[in-house]
Amino acid sequence: MQGKTYWLSGEEEANKFKFNPTEYLKTKTGKATLPLTPPNPKIMVVGHRGAGTTTIIQMLCEKFKLDEFELKKAYLARLKEEKEKRQRARLLNRGFRPPPPVEEEGMEPPPDPEIEEDPEDFDKAGH
C-alpha cells in the first residue's frame, strides 16, 4: 500500500488492516489521509555565544516556514508562572488583609514580603 511495508502481529490483524487501513493510520488530529504526511522537521542548532546560532535558526525558520522554539524563554516563563501560583496560594492561605497605607498619593503600596518571597523551607532546587 502506497509503496510501504507494514508489519502486523498476525493474520487476523492483517485482514482488519486490509479491510480498513485508515483506521490504523491516524494522524495527530485523528483524521486519516493517505498517503500520510510526515511531521514537521525538528532541528536543533547548538553553539557557544557569538557563533551565530540565533541567525542560523532565524534563517532556517524563515526559509522552511518552521516555528522557532526558544527553550530559555519557555523555561523562564514556566518559572514565573509557578512562582505566581505559589504567591496566589500564599495570599489565599493568609486571607484578606488590607494593604498598608501609602505615604504619597499615586504611589503603590510596598510589596508584602510574606506573599512575594518564598518561605525559607521552600526547596528551590526541587522546582
pLDDT tens per residue, range 56-80 = 989 998 998 888 888 888 899 999 9
pTM (2 d.p.):
0.46
Rounded distance between C-alpha atoms, residue 15 and residue 24, angstroms = 12
The phi-psi region of residue 81 (left if phi > 0; otherwise alpha if psi is between -120 and 50; otherwise beta) is alpha
Look-up: residue for cell 516555528? 67
Average pLDDT, the chain: 80
* E strand intervals along the chain: none
Share above pLDDT 90 across residues of the chain, in percent, rounded to a whole number: 13
Look-up: residue for cell 532556517? 60
